[in-house]
Amino acid sequence: MALNSFLKRKNAKNPFVELTIERVGYPYCDKAQFRKAPALTGRGTTDSVLYTYIPFVLETETVVDATLIVRTYDGDTATKWVCDWQYYNLAHGSVLTSGTAEEMSAFFIQLQYTTFGDTLFTITDSTLFGSTLSPNWASGGRKAKIVTSEGEG
Average of per-residue pLDDT values in the chain: 84
Is there a contact between 92 and 102 (Cβ–Cβ < 8 Å)?
yes
> Which whole number is the average pLDDT over 88-100?
91
Q: 126-130, 136-140, 143-147 — which is least confidently predicted? A: 136-140
Buried b (16+ CB within 10 A) or exposed e, 12-45: eeeeeeeebeeebbebbeeebeeeeeeeeeeeee
> Which whole number is the average pLDDT over 109-119?
95
Instruction: Identify the pLDDT of residue 37.
Output: 82
Residue 47: is its pLDDT beyond 70? Answer: no
Ramachandran assignment for 36, one of left (phi > 0), alpha (psi -120 to 50 degrees), beta (any other): beta
Is there a contact between 78 and 29 (Cβ–Cβ < 8 Å)?
no
Instruction: Identify the pLDDT of residue 152.
Output: 54
Residue 39: is its pLDDT beyond 90? Answer: no
- Report the percentage of the chain scoring pLDDT > 90: 44
Domain range list for the chain = 2-145
